[in-house]
């Protein structure tokens, strides 16, 4: 059966009567049955529910009343709450937890008739870059099953890569949408901080977290963003304006684009990735854009700042998992202290514990000024520098990740090596800017490479229009 990689194609076949929504969902369920047992991208499939919804939406479609996302079959990351369904953030501590309400982003895609087909595997509490910290085990890259999917939204990316659905909703705190998209040859989008409500997203680091789509095409990401972005009374940090509207201007303008000397010269960058980045820069020049090299003195401090601040926020956010209100309670619980102690010791995995301890340490009274306060100040410097640069240029380009998908197990026991994989993606979360990863070629072994473009805050529409114009 025909495989789809864009909503436009699906909607045109629906319109021509070449396919029905129940047939479309059945096709995805068949792909899930074939591919998922090996790849481990989806941890739960809502087969019957999705088929039932497909039938209902088909009726609406036939009478011309279906929403904008009719035909969009979506997987949702296991940290995005969906009423009446389980959400566990791929952690043992939340196994079996069922959400009482849906995330705003979920409400909005459902209101436009998207169909949710299942929930996707991820790193535990979205902490990781390879989907290896999940309590459900790693997700394998469909391009080469000895390689990681990327993370933390690894299941989200592979569900799209292996045609188990058309699009996925993931979350991005330091690259978790963009990096797996880049490892799987897909488009991954991290909106401006606050452009999508965090209501219903299980918190990791609240001043960094955002929900974002993974799709085959930029147009599909734009369609999803048009639906999920916008103000929300349930999230005080949500922007009070919609940054992506239906009238996204087509980008024919010639833009000014910068790239960082330090990024191109950074030592961890693989030769094939560096090579492709230079080819990409050349392509942008040939298209008539003005591309210039600039200096970025903060590259080496991005990862330390990110891990100081996100672990601090995580240590606070994750204190709610105490064996009291939700999730796991240890069998050894006897009183308050043993309930908290044993439930947390048994429920959290090693990486999450490492981050809670690091975060508690950087916030502790003797070290607060040396680490947490200092990192906040550097965050401000990075933000100011980025803002002033983006007054001179429209976009900043870099590779999404210094490497292609690495081997399963290759970095799993070396947290520092794993953290350095985030060097190019954390910048946008530290500064709050929108950033996209678009596929651009592959290495000699055929593994996909992604290019990242970053714009100034709230310039999501420009970033998406430009990305579409160079990928279409």
| Least gap, CB of 302 to ligand GLN (angstroms) | 12
| Least gap, CB of 180 to ligand GLN (angstroms) | 10
Q: Which of 71, 118, 128, 230 binds ligand GLN (CB under 6 A)?
A: 128
Q: Cα dist. 27→1, 19, 76, 165, 381 in Å?
A: 7, 10, 18, 9, 50
Q: How far apart are CA 284 and CA 287, in angstroms?
A: 5
77 given a catalytic annotation: yes
| Least gap, CB of 184 to ligand GLN (angstroms) | 15
Ranges within 138-177 binding ligand GLN (CB under 6 A): 152, 172-176
| Least gap, CB of 151 to ligand GLN (angstroms) | 6
253 given a catalytic annotation: no
Strand 167-171 vs strand 73-77: parallel, antiparallel, or unpaired? Answer: parallel
| CB-based closest residue to ligand GLN | 176
Between 90 and 459, CB nearer to ligand GLN: 90
334 given a catalytic annotation: no
Does position 129 bind ligand GLN by CB under 6 A? yes
* Site map (CB under 6 A) of ligand GLN, residues 272-311, x = contact: --------------------------------------x-
* Site map (CB under 6 A) of ligand GLN, residues 174-203, x = contact: xxx---------------------------
| Least gap, CB of 44 to ligand GLN (angstroms) | 20
Catalytic entry in 99, 130, 171, 176: 176
Between 175 and 327, CB nearer to ligand GLN: 175
**Which burial class, exposed, middle or buried, applies to 274 when counting CB atoms under 10 A from its CB (0-12, 13-18, 19+)?**
middle
- Give first-to-last CA distance, the chain, whole Å: 24
Region from 120-128, 270-278, 322-330, 356-364 binding ligand GLN, contact rule CB under 6 A: 120-128
Q: Which two tokens stand for residue 176?
A: 């978790």
Give the residue from 23, 124, 138 showing the smallest Cα distance to 79: 124
Does position 432 bind ligand GLN by CB under 6 A? no
Between 69 and 168, CB nearer to ligand GLN: 168
258 forms beta bridges with 292, 396
Catalytic entry in 6, 68, 75, 77: 77
**Which burial class, exposed, middle or buried, applies to 67 when counting CB atoms under 10 A from its CB (0-12, 13-18, 19+)?**
middle
Please give the order of strands across the beta sheet that includes 435-442.
42-45, 115-120, 73-77, 167-171, 211-215, 187-190, 435-442, 448-454, 395-399, 256-260, 290-294
Between 11 and 173, CB nearer to ligand GLN: 173
Does position 126 bind ligand GLN by CB under 6 A? yes
Q: Which of 127, 239, 393, 465 binds ligand GLN (CB under 6 A)?
A: 127
Q: How far apart are CA 39 and CA 316, in angstroms?
A: 33
Between 415 and 441, CB nearer to ligand GLN: 415
Between 173 and 251, CB nearer to ligand GLN: 173
Between 21 and 139, CB nearer to ligand GLN: 139
| Least gap, CB of 429 to ligand GLN (angstroms) | 7
Q: Is the peptide bond before 412 cis (omega within 30 degrees of 0)?
A: no
| Least gap, CB of 132 to ligand GLN (angstroms) | 11
Q: How far apart are CA 4 and CA 26, in angstroms?
A: 13
Catalytic entry in 87, 99, 102, 152: 152
Ranges within 209-248 binding ligand GLN (CB under 6 A): none
Between 127 and 227, CB nearer to ligand GLN: 127
| Least gap, CB of 29 to ligand GLN (angstroms) | 28
Return residues touching ligand GLN (CB under 6 A). 126-129, 152, 172-176, 204, 310, 422
Just list the catalytic residues.
77, 152, 176
């Amino acid at each position: 059966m025909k495989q789809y990689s864009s909503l436009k194609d699906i909607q045109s076949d629906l319109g021509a009567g070449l396919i029905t929504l129940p047939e479309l969902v059945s096709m995805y369920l068949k792909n899930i049955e074939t591919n998922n047992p090996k790849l481990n991208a989806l941890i739960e499939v809502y087969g019957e529910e999705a088929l039932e919804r497909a039938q209902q939406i088909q009726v609406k479609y036939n009478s011309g009343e279906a929403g904008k996302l009719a035909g969009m079959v979506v997987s949702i990351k296991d940290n995005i709450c969906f009423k009446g369904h389980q959400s566990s953030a791929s952690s043992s501590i939340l196994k079996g937890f069922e959400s009482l309400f849906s995330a705003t982003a979920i409400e909005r895609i459902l209101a436009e008739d998207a169909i949710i087909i299942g929930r996707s595997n991820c790193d535990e509490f979205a902490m990781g870059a390879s989907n290896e910290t999940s309590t459900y085990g790693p997700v394998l890259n469909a391009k080469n099953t000895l390689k990681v999917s990327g993370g933390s939204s690894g299941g989200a990316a592979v569900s799209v890569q292996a045609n188990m659905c058309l699009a996925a909703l993931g979350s991005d705190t330091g690259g978790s949408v963009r990096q797996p998209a880049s490892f799987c040859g897909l488009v991954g989008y991290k909106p401006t901080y606050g452009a999508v409500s965090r209501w219903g997203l299980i918190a990791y680091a609240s001043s960094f977290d955002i929900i974002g789509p993974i799709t085959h095409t930029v147009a599909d990401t734009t369609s999803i963003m048009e639906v999920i972005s916008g103000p929300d009374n349930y999230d005080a940090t949500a922007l009070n304006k919609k940054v992506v509207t239906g009238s996204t201007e087509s980008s024919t303008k010639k833009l000014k684009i910068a790239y960082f000397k330090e990024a191109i010269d950074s030592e961890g960058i693989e030769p094939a990735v560096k090579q492709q980045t230079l080819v990409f820069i050349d392509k942008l020049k040939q298209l008539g854009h003005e591309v210039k090299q600039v200096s970025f003195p903060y590259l080496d401090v991005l990862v330390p700042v990110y891990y100081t601040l996100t672990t601090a926020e995580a240590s606070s956010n994750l204190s709610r998992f105490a064996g009291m209100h939700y999730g796991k309670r240890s069998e050894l619980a006897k009183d308050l202290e043993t309930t908290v102690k044993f439930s947390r010791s048994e429920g959290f995995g090693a990486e999450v514990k490492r981050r809670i301890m690091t975060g508690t340490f950087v916030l502790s009274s003797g070290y607060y000024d040396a680490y947490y306060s200092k990192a906040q100040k550097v965050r401000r410097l990075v933000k100011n520098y980025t803002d002033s640069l983006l007054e001179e240029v429209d976009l900043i380009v870099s590779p999404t990740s210094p490497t292609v998908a690495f081997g399963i197990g290759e970095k799993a026991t070396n947290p520092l090596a794993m953290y350095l994989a985030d060097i190019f993606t954390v910048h946008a979360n530290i500064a709050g800017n929108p950033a996209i990863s678009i596929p651009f070629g592959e290495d000699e072994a055929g593994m996909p490479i992604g290019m990242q473009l970053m714009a100034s805050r709230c310039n999501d529409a420009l970033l998406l229009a430009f990305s579409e114009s160079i990928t279409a």
